Structure 1
Amino acid sequence: MANHQERLQKVIAKSGVTSRRKAEVYIVDGRVKVNGKVVNELGTKVGPNDTVEVDGVPLEKEVPVYYLLYKPRGVISSVSDDKDRKVVTDFLPEVNERVYPVGRLDYDTSGLIILTNDGSFAQSLMHPKHQIDKVYVAKIKGIPTKEELQSMKKGIKSDGEHLKAIHTKMLSSDRKKNTSIIQMVLHEGKNRQIRRMFDALGYPVDKLKRERYGFLSTEGLQPGECREMTPHEVKLLKKASE
């Protein structure tokens, strides 16, 4: 879902112009243009920034929408799941737009996730060059040393990847239960990154939550709740990802 692209006939059908089967006939017959050029290949995919015309009439583009969701644990960061598990879009109010999550949070991780239909906004936020702080709090088994927490800032090798935290901080520890609460700041977001880093040091993660995404926080939201982002918030995030 990196480019949030869909098959051309599906996009035409979703716009309400015609059915998917008829859309395929339109494409083969040369009645469809993408960015001004006739396209008659059924495998063609298009993204939110492409202009699609049917018989010379552009498809109506959706108004961009932006939602902030406090994702609960046990939810997939996707718009559908072949195992019929809950997905992040299940928690949104009824919307007509085709929204999708910006990046992902693991199934067992809770916290903030943005959903939108604005493809360029989503891609700019996920681009590695934009160093937006993502703040996580992890409850782990064991109590790491200062040196071990520092090593996470230098980087840890896991499955051939170099995983790195921008900042680490011990928030609390319980010597009787042999657990600790650690705050971590990331800029990247590789698959199960925090869990893999702690696993490499021998401290399994029990719970993990993303508390902040840039200047956005979970304040005012309970797990499973969402809200529309304000125009000011969207503007600030766009500026941060320029």
Structure 2
Amino acid sequence: MERLQKVIARAGIASRRKSEELIKEGRVKVNGKVVTELGVKVSPSDKVEVNEIQIEKEEPVYFLLYKPRGVISSVSDDKGRKVVTDFFSHFKERIFPVGRLDYDTSGLLLLTNDGEFANLLMHPKNELDKVYVAKIKGIPLRENLRKLEKGIRLEDGKTAPAKVNLLSVDKKKQTAIVEITIHEGRNRQVRRMFEAIGNEVLKLKRERYGFLTLNGLKTGEARELTPHEVKQLRALALDKLKKKS
């Protein structure tokens, strides 16, 4: 079930805000009845009409993007910067990112027009692994990396335990490459975790999300998920939620 204004917006009739206005003005019908309340939710089987014309619901689509650095994880930007949906301008579907990657972070990002699927993956209790590779300033002490593994206190609370693997060090440049696996999705979380142990993140890339990887893709490239991958992701997410309930 999805909010009526979302369904109208996804069909390309109007923006979300304009769709809300259409509902309040009594110009929207659901199964033949005028609806003027914004809280109404509809299912894929419901008949939705705007100005007496039945809308065509889009087929759900699912994409994996290798997001470059310097791109906003949004559908628009008031400063005119490049956004992730710019890579899909040739598709008619109104897609949006599942979660986000920071402006300066590259790597794996999912996009879809399936709100239910996106909400499932972004659920706070969902513990799908997200694997990042960070180039950091300074060579971290083993005891500090263990702090990340146990969970470290940030201004918005303690992080869940992480998996940390020191991949390489450059003693001359005083930098290190570290792989870190988390399952939370707080704002700038990986960068803040390293800052908390005294290491600034110079470069950050998300290499894996659940079982999905960037294999075969170059930065800025995307591919459609296979039906099997979508089914697998949904099943994995539901399994994680059941275990947390």
Shorter chain as denominator, the TM-score bin is 0.7 to 0.9
Aligned to 2:243: none
Shift in alpha-carbon separation, 1:106–1:48, aligned structure 2, 3 A: farther
**TM-score (structure 1 length as normaliser):** 0.84
The answer to whether 1:170 aligns with 2:166 is yes
Instruction: Tell me if the contact between 2:117 and 2:234 (Cα under 8 Å) persists in the aligned partners.
Output: yes
Deviates more, 1:129-138 or 1:72-81: 129-138
Deviates more, 1:138-147 or 1:55-64: 55-64
Instruction: Tell me if the contact between 1:64 and 1:116 (Cα under 8 Å) persists in the aligned partners.
Output: yes
**What SS class does the counterpart of residue 111 from structure 2 fall into?**
strand
Shift in alpha-carbon separation, 1:48–1:200, aligned structure 2, 3 A: farther
Report 1:14-33 matches (<5 A).
Answer: 14-15=12-13, 24=21, 27-28=24-25, 30-33=26-29
| C-alpha distance in structure 1 between counterparts of 2:151 and 2:32, whole Å | 47
The answer to whether 1:99 aligns with 2:82 is no
Shift in alpha-carbon separation, 1:59–1:151, aligned structure 2, 3 A: same
Q: How many pairs does the alignment contain?
A: 233
**What SS class does the counterpart of residue 184 from structure 1 fall into?**
strand
**What SS class does the counterpart of residue 91 from structure 2 fall into?**
coil
Shift in alpha-carbon separation, 1:153–1:34, aligned structure 2, 3 A: farther
Aligned to 1:138: 134
1:205 offset after TM fit, Å? 0.3
Aligned to 1:154: 150
1:131 offset after TM fit, Å? 1.5
**TM-score (structure 2 length as normaliser):** 0.84
Report 1:11-50 matches (<5 A).
Answer: 11=9, 14-15=12-13, 24=21, 27-28=24-25, 30-33=26-29, 38-40=34-36, 44=38
CA RMSD of the aligned region, Å? Answer: 3.0
Aligned to 2:220: 224
Shift in alpha-carbon separation, 1:93–1:32, aligned structure 2, 3 A: closer
2:182 corresponds to which of 177, 180, 186: 186
**What SS class does the counterpart of residue 111 from structure 1 fall into?**
strand
**What SS class does the counterpart of residue 118 from structure 2 fall into?**
helix
The answer to whether 1:115 aligns with 2:111 is yes
> Which residue identity lines up with residue 70 of structure 1 in the other structure?
Y
Deviates more, 1:156-165 or 1:192-201: 156-165
1:125-181 CA distance string (max 9 Å, x none): 111222211100000001112211110122222223222342011001111111100
Instruction: Tell me if the contact between 1:133 and 1:185 (Cα under 8 Å) persists in the aligned partners.
Output: yes
Shift in alpha-carbon separation, 1:223–1:6, aligned structure 2, 3 A: farther
The answer to whether 1:70 aligns with 2:66 is yes
| C-alpha distance in structure 2 between counterparts of 1:213 and 1:146, whole Å | 26
Instruction: Tell me if the contact between 1:48 and 1:118 (Cα under 8 Å) persists in the aligned partners.
Output: no
1:59 offset after TM fit, Å? 2.6
1:87-126 CA distance string (max 9 Å, x none): 0011125111110000000000000000000011111111
1:191-215 CA distance string (max 9 Å, x none): 0001111111110000000001111
| C-alpha distance in structure 2 between counterparts of 1:60 and 1:201, whole Å | 52
